[in-house]
Structure 1
Amino acid sequence: MAMREHPKKISRIILTYACLLVLSFVVFFVLAAGAFAEIITSDQFVPANTVENAIRDQKEAIQAAEPFDASLVPEGSRYALIGHDGQVLDTDMDQKMLAEAREYAQRGQNLFGDRFYYQIPRNDGVCVLQYYIKASYKDEALNQKLPSPEWLMNAVIITAAALYILVVFLGTRAFSKRLKNELAPLMEATNAIRNQDLEYRAGPSGIWEFNQVLSSMDDMRLALKESLQKQWREEQEKQEQISALAHDIKTPLTIIKGNSELLTEDNLNGEQAECVRYIHDNAEVIEEYTRLLMEVSQDRAAWNLNPEAIPAMAFMEQIKKQAEGYTAGRQIRLCFDTERLPEAFTGDSGLLNRAVMNIIANGADYTPEGGTLSLKAEGNGSVISITITDGGPGFSADALKNAARKFYMGDKSRSAQKHYGMGLYITDSIIRQHGGSLCLENDPRTGHGRVVIELEGTGEVE
């Protein structure tokens, strides 16, 4: 994987982004503070406390004037001259302000919203002045036409904050877009491995840490490619061995069939004829199994189904007869039972026969002499369950998960017979193609191995 000449560390990129945010904050803060200071110090503006300061400056003059001189009251304020008996001697306030001025004169508390009051004691009573603490323009015409200076200062602060948020948004978006672009080679490499494209070579990233990950992923890709190639070679070798074995079996099998056919031409008694017929029929079964084995070796796990309505009881009787023939010479007792079977079910009779017989043969191989092989078929609603329980050791934990895989031979607890890991695989493939299921378990009471086949039934329960 080619690397860019100068990839940057992600910490440097994040630090650059953080510096951008801090710098932009400082710039907008300085601009806002400068505008704010310009508003306060400009000759066009009157500070908010101007009227209050003027009142303090005029306090002594208003207090000493005899009689009361309204011209001494600073511009921007209103007055009320209240006598010692509470009577209003002179005022330019409206009724609401006058009521507040009297209350202030009595209590001395400024609790009137944005209106403030100031009292000056006199010989004839008290002079109460009302004023506002707010900035204004020196030119009264501007006060009438423009927003107040306070509003202008708030607008400056809000504008600076909005601009800073915009810079943060645009900076974050650019930072996110850059990270996304730098992550693209990493995502492409991940998708290629997920899709098993092991020839894909990821392009470089501009971030040093991402390049390290890409380099590790490239090493993993090469190791995975080598491992899969080795696995494919081993699989191909197994398939070739199975295909060759199946082909070699055909020759002695043809001889057995041919000789059994010749024997039928001799004068045989009833028992001899039955044995010869049994040899011939099972030779044909082995021949069919050999054909299926060759198909499996060529990865043809999908069988050509010829579905038909299969009478359930007749099918199980046929299975029973074949099972009896298989266990007859092994001193194994066969227990057979049926319960609530439906009238019929749909499937390929030949393939299902092979599937069930594979399980029975497997169970018989692991059942010791004198043991019992149990075969039970029962209906449960629309489902037919065929349960085969052998008399041997149960499945190991590994076998319960993997025994139906092709070429699985890892169950040390059930290694009494030589096998090639194909029986359960073939059976599982046939059952799944019929829409059924194959379940491996151990009998909870005896610990013996048990296989349950479930198929969809049709028709009425007998």
Structure 2
Amino acid sequence: MINGVVIIFLTCMWFLSVGYLVSEHIIYPANYDEQKVQQFVKVQRSKRVFNANEVPDNVSYALFNPQHHMLKTNTSQINWKKMRKCLYHPKHVDYGYQLVRYPDKSVVVLHYYYLTRYVNPIFQRILPPSEYLSLGMLLFLILFCLLVTTILLKNKLVKSVNLFRQVGESITKQDLDFKIPHSNIKEFEHALNTMAEMQLALKESLISKWAQEQSQQQEISALSHDLKTPLTVIQGNSELLLEDDNLTEQQREDLQSIMRNTKQANEYLNSLRAATKGSIEQAINVNLTNLQIEITKRAQELVHTKKIELIVDGTLTGYAYLQKNHFIRAIINVIENAVTYTRMKGRIKLAFKNEVQYVQIGVYDQGPGFSKAALLNATKRFWKEDQARKINGHNGLGLWFANDVIEKNSGHLVIKNSSNGGIVLINLAKTKAKHEK
């Protein structure tokens, strides 16, 4: 629309400028040569012979005898041959041609152009034809204005697109109280209004999700509180029983096992409460070799209760930026899960894979493996099933907690099966050398 108005305006200005130049006698009007030829023809009709000196400037002529042979001309052979064709069809002379017949039956054919010309002969000699020059300037101005309007439109579009970027960044940061901006482009304004509706729907969804998470956190907190009392009773009674000097070696070993597991259960409850309360452990640069040693030591304590063989394969090197205590508890949860489902005197394998940019910790058990439903849902909070890998008292929190902590530490947990049992793989990115301590 704007470009069309600009073109019409420039065209009108071009016509006005041409009219001004004509009125100021800077250029001749386009029909100037035609008027001169008409005057020449009018004068020649009263004369008996042709006089070449009387032909107007910038007009071509060719004089022919009665037999149509060319006698005299001021133009090229090609042009006068075209002019001779007018003699054969005098009633159909093309525009720009005029014929004058003399008493001696000779004929002169005049040819002129309908073009503007400079009045000053110097301009006529050194400058391009005024017709082409003025049209060229008009075309240049049109192209220049189109370029300017395109640049302005581009800046306008970029500004409007930046509005979408701002909205996207706010949504990414979950800042849903910001005011959706407006655009003076109709289509963009419609899209921004749609995004405003999406913002409201997303805000309501997040509020609902937050309320649901709060409810789940309250459930976990209540569950942790309920478990704390029986665990305290078990631990206290075990300590009292250990004071009995009449216990057999097997009884004493069993009581010590009960106390170790009770202690681990208490640690788990503490971690669970910390997670539900949003407690955030400070992340540090952790030596992966030392981390492997600590995990292996904890795993050896766990497999001892069921006389399970622990196989350790591979060595970790380098550093990883993570919440160390939370991460170790997450790995121990995975190992506890493997111990729970591995048969007595079975085998559990800890595989430590070391790559340039990441490490992998694999826990391989000899249990019944994960069912199809478990492969999809085992890391969901409170999920449990009545088929494979079901244990009485299992509340669906172990793998959920492990997965939650691993993801918060920029890791990734994968659950799958082998021919011998279940497999849990934890992939963790290393830090760059410049961050190592």
Structure 1 contact 76–131 (Cα < 8 Å) conserved? no
2:281, 2:326 within 8 Å by CA — same for their partners in 1?
A: no
Paired residues of 1:82 and 1:90 also in contact (CA < 8 A): yes
Q: Does 1:362 align with 2:342?
A: no
Counterpart mapping for 1:117-196 below 5 A: 133=113, 142-144=119-121, 146=123, 150-151=129-130, 154-155=133-134, 158-159=137-138, 162=141, 166=145, 169=148, 173=152, 192-196=170-174
Aligned runs of 1:43-82 on 2, under 5 Å? Answer: 45=29, 47-49=32-34, 65=49, 71=53
1:310 counterpart letter in structure 2: N
Q: Which amino acid aligns with 2:315?
A: P
1:440 alignment counterpart: 415
Question: Which residue among 259, 270, 287 is the counterpart of 2:266?
Answer: 287
CA distance in 2, matches of 1:180, 1:344: 49
* Residue 391 of structure 1, aligned match among 356, 367, 376: 367
Distance 1:55 1:396, change over 3 A: farther
SS in 2 for 1:342: coil
> 2: CA distance between counterparts of 1:364 and 1:196?
40
AA in 1 matched with 2:368 = G
Conserved in 1, the CA contact under 8 Å of 2:163 and 2:181? Answer: yes
Asked whether 1:451 is paired with 2:431, we answer no
Aligned to 1:377: 351
> 371, 385, 390: which one pairs with 1:416?
390
User: Does structure 1 residue 255 correspond to structure 2 residue 233?
Assistant: yes
Report the Cα offset of residue 389 of structure 1: 3.8
One-letter amino acid matched to 2:261 = N
Q: 1:263 deviation in Å?
A: 2.4
- Measure, in 1, the Cα distance between the counterparts of 2:82 and 2:175: 92
Q: Distance in 2 between matches of 1:398 and 1:449?
A: 11
State whether residues 396 and 411 of structure 1, in contact with CA within 8 Å, keep that contact through their aligned partners in structure 2. Answer: no
SS in 1 for 2:120: helix
Cα pair distance change 1:306/1:319, threshold 3 Å: farther
Distance change in 2, residues 1:151/1:218 (3 Å): closer
Q: What residue ranges of structure 2 are gaps of 5+ in the alignment?
A: 66-70, 86-95, 431-437
8 Å Cα contact 2:40-2:54 kept in structure 1: no
1:311–1:344 Cα contact (<8 Å) kept: no
DSSP 3-state at the match of 2:368: coil
Is contact 2:348–2:365 with CA below 8 Å preserved after alignment? yes
1:234-383 correspondence to structure 2 within 5 Å: 234-267=212-245, 268-302=247-281, 310=290, 316=296, 319-325=299-305, 327=306, 334=308, 336-339=310-313, 341-342=314-315, 354-365=329-340, 374-380=348-354, 383=359
Inter-partner Cα distance in structure 1 for 2:257 and 2:183: 72
TM-score by length of 2: 0.63
Give the counterpart letter for 1:377 in structure 2.
Answer: A
CA contact (8 A) 1:442 1:449 kept: yes
Shift of 1:237: 2.7
- Using the TM superposition, give the Cα deviation of residue 225 of structure 1 relative to its aligned residue in structure 2, in angstroms: 3.2
Measured at CA, do residues 390 and 296 of structure 1 come closer, stay the same or move farther in structure 2, by a change above 3 Å?
Answer: farther
The one of the two structures with greater contact order (alpha-carbon pairs below 8 A, sep at least 6) is 1
Q: Offset at 1:198?
A: 3.5
CA deviation after TM superposition for structure 1 residue 278, in Å: 1.6
**Maintained 8 Å contact 1:393/1:413:** no
Alignment gaps of 5+ in structure 1: 1-17, 84-88, 110-115, 329-333, 458-462
Counterpart CA distance in 2 for 1:136 and 1:227 is 74
What CA RMSD, in Å, does the superposition of the two structures yield over aligned residues?
5.9
Give the distance between the partners of 2:57 and 2:188, measured in 1 at CA. 71
Q: TM-score, normalised by structure 1?
A: 0.61
* Shift of residue 272, structure 1, vs aligned partner: 2.1
CA distance in 2, matches of 1:361, 1:355: 10
CA distance in 1, matches of 2:135, 2:208: 72
Cα deviation 1:332-358 (Å, max 9, x = unaligned) = xx564344x338787999766643432
Identity %: 23
1:392 is paired with a residue whose SS is coil
Q: Deviations over 1:422-462 (max 9, x none)?
A: 3224334555687765322333x57x5421235689xxxxx
